[in-house]
Amino acid sequence: MAAESPVIEAKRRVEYLEIQARKLAGKCLSGRMHSVWTINPYRGCEFGCRYCYARYAHEFMELRDPVLFETRIFAKQFDAVSFRRELARVPRGESLWIGTATDPYQPAERRFEVTRRILDVIAMEKGRSIGITTKSDLVVRDLDLLARVAEQNTIHVHLTITTLDEDLARLIEPLAPRPSLRMKAVQRLTEQGIGCTVLAHPIMPLINDSEASLDALCGAAALAGAVSFSAAPLFLKPCSKQVFLPFVEEHFPHLARRYRERYNRQAYLTGDYPVRLRERVVKLIAKHGLKERGAADLTVVWPAEPQMDLFEERNEPRAANVLTC
C-alpha cells in the first residue's frame, strides 16, 4: 500500500557545489558606487524570488536555465589568509557590501558558513564600513559576531521586506523566511545596537504598492527600531523578465498584458510611476519618523487613488537602480 501512495509534494532538490573564486571582494564599476566593494559568498540563491535580478550571475557561467539559479548553489571557497590580503588592498574610506547578487544568509549559509567566516576576518579590522543585505532572519545567528565587527568598524544591515502579507510573500519570495521573522530580525539587531534599514525592494505595481501596504510596512519597520526605509520600483532585465512575466500571467492574469507592454519595452519604469512612488514613500518615512536611504529629491502631486496607475505614460526621469536581495 505504501508503495502505491500518491505523491503529495516532492521536495525540491538543491545541489550545492564548491567554487574557487580568484577574489572574494570585487570593486563596483558603476559610476554612482565607485567607492563600494561587493562580496558575494555564494552564487545562486535558494530563496527563488520571482523578481530576482541576480539570475544573470548564473548566465555568466553558461547556466542559462533560470531555475538553476535556485537549485544549483555555488559556495565560494574561503581562505582567511588570502582574504586578509585582499582586504589590505581595499582603501579604508571605501565600503564593503556583502550580498549584492545573492543572499549571504540563504540556507546554504547554515552548512557552509562562508559569510560567517568572512565576518570573522572583518572583525579583526579597524575603520571599515560594512553593509549587509539579506532577506533572512539567519543573520541573527551572527549577532555576537556583528557586535564584534561594530566595535572598531561601522556596520549596517539592510533587511529586504517587500510586504507584510505572508500569503503574498510566499508567492513572490517562495522560500525566503516569512516577513514577520525578518521584521523580528530587525528588532533583534537594533536591540543589540546594529543599525538596520528596511528595504521594500522591489515595489511591483498594483501588487505591493498600495499606500496601506507601504504604510503598514514602514510603520512596522519603525516599531522594530529600523533607522531608515527605502522602496524602489521593480526593474526587469532579460534574465528576470523570463521568470517574472510568466509568474504574473499565472498569478495575476488581470495584470499580465500591462506588465508585458511596459517591461517588454524597457527594463525600468519611466513616467509618473517612479516619481509618485517616491513621493508616497517620502511621506510615509516622515510619518513614521524614519530616515531616507539616500536618494535624489523628486516632487510631484500626490495621487488621489489608493493604488498608483502604472500605465499612465509621461516623460519623467528614470528610476534609480537599486540593490536588491
- Kindly list the residues in this chain that would bind ligand SF4 in the complex (CB under 6 A): 45, 47-49, 52, 54, 102-103, 135, 176, 324-325
Strand locations in 87-134 (E): 95-98, 129-134
| Residue 89 DSSP symbol | T
Query: What angle in degrees, to the nearest 10, is found between the helix axes of 114-122 and 80-88?
Result: 50
Cβ atoms 290, 222 nearer than 8 A: yes
On whether the CB atoms of residues 4 and 68 are closer than 8 A, the answer is no
Interacting residues of 119 by C-beta distance below 8 A, sequence separation 6+: 98, 142, 145, 146, 149
Nearest alpha carbon to residue 21 among 58, 74, 71: 74
CB nearer ligand SF4, residue 123 or residue 203: 203
Q: Which residues contact 271 (CB under 8 A, 6 or more apart)?
A: 312, 313, 314, 315, 316
Of 283, 279, 311, 320, which Cα lies nearest the Cα of 205? Answer: 311
Q: How far is the CB of 101 from ligand SF4 (least distance, A)?
A: 7
In the complex, least distance from residue 45 CB atom to ligand SF4, rounded to whole angstroms: 3
Of 303, 281, 294, residue with least CA distance to 218: 281
Longest dimension (CA), the chain: 67
Q: Order of strands across the sheet with 42-43? A: 15-19, 72-76, 42-43
Nearer to ligand SF4, 87 or 169 (CB): 169
Beta strands 95-98 and 129-134, pairing class: parallel
Residue nearer to ligand SF4 on the CB measure, 71 or 190: 71
Task: Report the nearest approach of ligand SF4 to the CB of residue 193 (Å).
Answer: 25
Nearest approach, Cβ of 270 to ligand SF4 (angstroms)? 23
Closest to ligand SF4 by CB, 284 vs 325, is 325
Q: Which residue, 12 or 84, has its beta carbon nearer to ligand SF4?
A: 12
- Toward ligand SF4, which CB reaches closer, 102 or 213? 102
Q: Which is nearer to ligand SF4, 161 or 325 (CB)?
A: 325
Of 316, 221, 312, residue with least CA distance to 278: 316
**Cell numbers given for 109:** 549559509
Q: Of 213 and 324, which CB lies nearer to ligand SF4 in the complex structure?
A: 324
Q: What pairs with residue 73 in β-bridges?
A: 16
CA atoms within 13 A on the CB side of 21: 21
CB of 152 to ligand SF4, least distance (A): 29
**How near is the Cβ of 203 to ligand SF4 at its closest, in Å?**
14
Nearer to ligand SF4, 107 or 271 (CB): 107
Give the shortest CB-30-to-ligand SF4 separation in angstroms: 18
Residue indicated by cell numbers 536588491: 324
Question: Shortest gap between Cβ of 56 and ligand SF4 (angstroms)?
Answer: 11
Query: How far apart are CB 18 and ligand SF4 at their closest, in Å?
Result: 19
H or E stretch covering 121: helix 114-122
